[in-house]
Structure 1
Amino acid sequence: LCPPIPGRADYVHYLADLLADSNGGVIPRGRTISVLDIGVGANCIYPIIGHQAYGWRFVGSDTDPVALDAARNIVAANDILKGSVDCRPQPDASQLLNGVVKRGEVFDAVMCNPPFYPSLAAATAGTRRKTTNLGKGRGPAPVRNFGGQPSELWYPGGEEAFVRNLVKESEDIPTSSFWFTALVSQSQTLPGIYKELQWAEAVEVKTIEMAQGQKKSRIVAWTFLTREQQAARRAARWAKAK
């Protein structure tokens, strides 16, 4: 997987802590909690971990029909996931929320692991640096970023453009999710992301630091809900979550 499972699990658990921070320290659990995973991938890993650990329901979107079919097959082959994971196609690769979120649909969190690089060339160069740093610089040309698929590795404008576009789209449907989040691997992209959030007038922004071995990353989370709206959302959705 790209990145490995421990990093994926960390994101899910930190997301649970984020929801708990908005719920008096109690993690909302069960099928009343709905999470949107942008770029669910062939492995469907975030929904698997999130449903197994907390009982959450998931909507997983992807632009790659092959990856989406693989994710659907995983759901179909596991009774515990049936009825709890909805895999939806994203028909427009330039869109993130638009075309996936249905009118009136409400989520408790949106999550995504954006592509790192702005192009195939940048992704290949990044892989060479990684293999060299690991003492594996000699030999045949490396596999891109240790096996990630194209849509997982690069996006026009890279990670910063992806997250800034997510901020812009979330601003258009601000009450569709309690929290919007993105995993940010490159610290140099943070100023641009924060600027976009300022322009979007997010009510609250949090940055949650993460680390797995030598890899450091962070989750940037934002909400457009006022304190009053947050309280109403908790009462409507989380009071029943156990």
Structure 2
Amino acid sequence: MTDPSLYRVSTPDFRALAAKYPATLGKFVKDDRGYEAKIDFQDAEAVRCLAETLLQHDFGIYATFSLSNLCPTIPNRLAYISLIHELLTWSLPTWHLLHHFQHQPPPADDRIRGLDIGTGASAIYPILGIACFPHWNFTATDIDPNSLDYAKNHIIDHPNNGTHLSDRVSLLHVDPNASFLPDQQTGLEFTMCNPPFYTSFEEMNRSASLKKLPANAVCHGSRSEMIVEGGQVRLVQRMIRESITTERKVLWWTCMLGKLSSVAQLAAELKVLSGEGKIGGWGVNELKTGGGKTKRWVIMWTRTKLRLSDELGRKDLRSSLEKSRPNSTERTGKKLDVGPGWTRKELLESTMAILRDLDGCFVYPSSYSGQQDAGQRRGSRFRSQSVSELNQAVRRRSDADPGRLDVILTQESWTRRARRSKLQAQASDSTHLQDTSNIEPLMMVRISIHETNETGGTGLVVKVNCTYGIDMVKFESFAMFFLGAVERKVQQSTRRSTDSADAQA
């Protein structure tokens, strides 16, 4: 299994690769023994050989790429796969917890199902995804039967790959005007698409002539790989329309774009649809590709109420996208100077005391971890039927990761009015024990605690992320209440400790 962030850490070492593969890549590497060896990216044969070598060396995949089709740039393509992994890692724990909360049956298996729309002659996204994640499986579609035949014969069924790829990739020819989702396709965790840039060869040539500098690498491909009627914007608009009308389940729709103007237009449209409640969470992410100059952006959206973190959906975007960014889904409290007697575990238990007083509030030790394979989370089991069991579960989890909780809120029990009503009625915490099979959560949040050294001195910071929900005004209200309550509780505890120390003195 290959780390999908491989090329973020370091770019390929051409000198080392040339030494290991002298008969193939070695012929194209120019090495004057300076800082680093180089490859001529205007040489189509060299670019193909590099892609084939990287697949073999870093992923254990054998491929022979077509001379007449686009040759994939492996680091850029891997960056898209890495983003999908981060997207699932963030959202699947919430999705599975929701199913548990509503007593829905667990998934039949551990597989993560993806759809690659327009896979081309390289089928690059399925093969990279499978090389990185043992639970991923793909359906890969294309409108060009020749591209599919080539991908099958020279990559998927390559004799050196055995059945590793063919068992987990299904290639499917589709009509250009057909639905993006194949008829026989059932539930999907995600879709991927890297649409053609241009509406015509004339536009492609005009775009090349307007560039101040020549392209970083040679670019050639079949008509269906380079050109689409209406351009990439119209294609993605059609995809968005299908996503909000289809009854078939797709957790996340995604699309990679190479023109910033297209990103800005589509992001603005997604922002409107989100405001109308036609989609739930959405975001834009500029791919992290290491040292490469080529820029790519991925737009992501869902029909569900799942929400993206700011890190995934709105961070570090160009100023031209500022007006089109999604609203923030997280709030961070002040740095808490809690003193030497406090750790994340103690602060977590204080947050538990606050949540315990809220009716309709269900708390679980979070199964989110940015380091695990998202597919492995399907086997997670959530358990928290009572306050005492909850505290025990949190303490058990705290031994491993004392800094995260996933919280389900079914009513606005944090408002002043609700808390006054509870005091008057002397309400108990029996709402924690109710049947939740037919309850749709008001929202779900992820509470995390981490250490910080910013603004002088070490302290603890509490962050609240909305992971599920439509009404962001209610999220803002809850976050303000919760962060304020945590701050007051820490201040009270600190004062008691100080008073006790003074009394002993």
Mapped partners of 1:191, 1:135: distance in 2: 23
**Large movers: runs of 4+ above 6 Å:** none
Count of matched residue positions in the alignment of Structure 1 and Structure 2: 220
Who is 1:81 aligned against? 165
Who is 2:180 aligned against? 97
Structure 2 residue aligned with 1:180, among 248, 253, 267?
Answer: 253
Who is 2:91 aligned against? 22
Counterpart amino acid of 2:213?
N
Structure 2 residue aligned with 1:210, among 287, 294, 300?
Answer: 287
Mapped partners of 2:188, 2:376: distance in 1: 10
Counterpart contact for 1:174–1:224, Cα < 8 Å: no
SS of the residue aligned with 1:133? coil
SS of the residue aligned with 1:114? coil
Q: Which has the higher contact order (CA 8 A, sep 6+)?
A: 1
Counterpart amino acid of 2:180?
L
Mapped partners of 1:135, 1:159: distance in 2: 20
Q: Which runs of 5+ in 2 are unaligned?
A: 1-69, 95-108, 307-374, 381-505
Counterpart amino acid of 1:147?
H
Structure 2 residue aligned with 1:117, among 195, 198, 203?
Answer: 198
Counterpart amino acid of 1:89?
H
Mapped partners of 1:96, 1:206: distance in 2: 23
Larger Rg: 2
Mapped partners of 1:147, 1:81: distance in 2: 26
- After superposition, the Cα gap between the structure-2 partners of 1:168 and 1:126, relative to the gap in structure 1 and judged at 3 Å, is same
Q: Which runs of 5+ in 1 are unaligned?
A: 137-142, 228-235
Q: Map residues 82-231 of structure 1 onto 2, 5 A cutoff.
A: 82-91=166-175, 93-98=176-181, 100-102=182-184, 105-129=186-210, 133-134=213-214, 146-173=219-246, 175-197=248-270, 198-199=272-273, 201-212=278-289, 213-227=292-306
Mapped partners of 1:110, 1:101: distance in 2: 15
1:193 CA drift (Å) = 1.5
Who is 2:146 aligned against? 66
Counterpart contact for 2:188–2:251, Cα < 8 Å: yes
1:191 CA drift (Å) = 3.8
Who is 2:79 aligned against? 10
- After superposition, the Cα gap between the structure-2 partners of 1:199 and 1:174, relative to the gap in structure 1 and judged at 3 Å, is farther
Who is 1:139 aligned against? none
1:186 CA drift (Å) = 1.3
Counterpart amino acid of 1:153?
M
Who is 2:463 aligned against? none
1:125 CA drift (Å) = 2.6
**What TM-score, normalized to structure 1?**
0.80
Matching of residue 39 in structure 1 with residue 39 in structure 2: no
The CA RMSD measured in Å over matched residues stands at 3.0
Counterpart contact for 2:72–2:124, Cα < 8 Å: no
Mapped partners of 2:126, 2:191: distance in 1: 12
**What TM-score, normalized to structure 2?**
0.40
Greater Cα shift, 115-124 or 210-219: 210-219
